[in-house]
Amino acid sequence: MIYLIPGLGADERIFRNLQPLLQHENQVVQWLTPEPDETLPHYAARMSAKIPLGQLGLLVGVSFGGMVALEITRMRPELRTVLISSIPDSSCLPPLLRLIRATGVYHLVPPQMLKLFPRAGQWYFGVKNKEYPLFKEILRDMEPVYTKWAIDRLLHWDSTTAGSSTQILGTHDRVFPPGPTPIEYLIRGGGHFMVISHAPEIAEILNKLAAEQTNVVAASQPNAV
């Protein structure tokens, strides 16, 4: 089984190019509305209720969804966490986002302001022109309360006891640019929106990882008598 968690402000549309290429059963885990002042671990616990206990397979998170995926696997350790356009721990937060956190400017600029400057968002997220209509749709449908909460949790993520993960990152990602930390899969030319633009390459990796998980499970089963 492959569980898919979209990025901040996105929904199942972000996987529309990827899902048809996956060779294993898959399901998008939809976002929940956060409770007032809800912590990320508590939120992840509510999200994990959508995944059966003992479920095996991959838990794939895009961007902020990767952080949520790592929190979920604290409670669903049988799943293998895969990060797309995301980071494995808070030490990998890039300088720009650290500056935004330090200045607190994100408190002064409402998330819906991004809707007024979609071309700036297109550049920052590495959205190609043919993907721009979808990007504008996602911006249009962003829910301000959820987005404001998610940005705050992203900037203040405590990843101290986060588990291991497999990272898929684009060489041209401006949100989470590649740093000194080793990356298992680096997609050449991929930006932050590469789950759409580079779906075939990402699907190939996920199919390979899912097959490996299946083989591990099969090997661990006792032989039938």
Q: What is the DSSP string of 75-141?
A: T-TTEEEEEES--SSGGG--HHHHHHHHHTGGGTS-GGGGGG-HHHHHHHHT--GGGHHHHHHHHHT
pLDDT band at 162 (very low <50, low <70, confident <90, very high): confident
CATH class of the structural domain 2-220: alpha beta
Q: Tell me: the pLDDT tens digits for 104-148?
A: 777 666 666 667 678 888 888 889 899 999 998 888 888 888 888
Residue type, 178: P
pTM (predicted TM-score): 0.90
CB 6 within 8 A of CB 12: yes
Phi, psi dihedral angles at 105 (to 5 degrees): -65, -25
- pLDDT category, 225, cuts 50, 70, 90? very low
Closest CA relative to residue 68, chosen from 96, 109, 40: 40
Q: Give the separation between CA 57 and CA 224, rounded to whole angstroms.
A: 23
Domain residue extents for the chain:
2-220
Residue 161's pLDDT band (cuts 50, 70, 90): confident
179-191 pLDDT, tens digit per residue, is 888 899 999 999 9
pLDDT band at 30 (very low <50, low <70, confident <90, very high): very high
What pLDDT score was predicted for residue 176?
94
Kindly give the pairing relationship between strand 166-170 and strand 2-5: unpaired
Q: Tokens 């203040």 appear where?
A: 156
103 falls in which pLDDT band (50, 70, 90)? confident
Given a cut of 80, whether residue 218 has pLDDT beyond it is: no
Block residue for tokens 């604290």: 74
Helix (H, G, I), strand (E, B) or coil at 67: helix
User: What length does the chain have?
Assistant: 225
Say which amino acid occupies 113: M
Can you say whether residue 9 is alpha, beta or left, with left for phi > 0 and alpha for psi between -120 and 50 degrees?
left
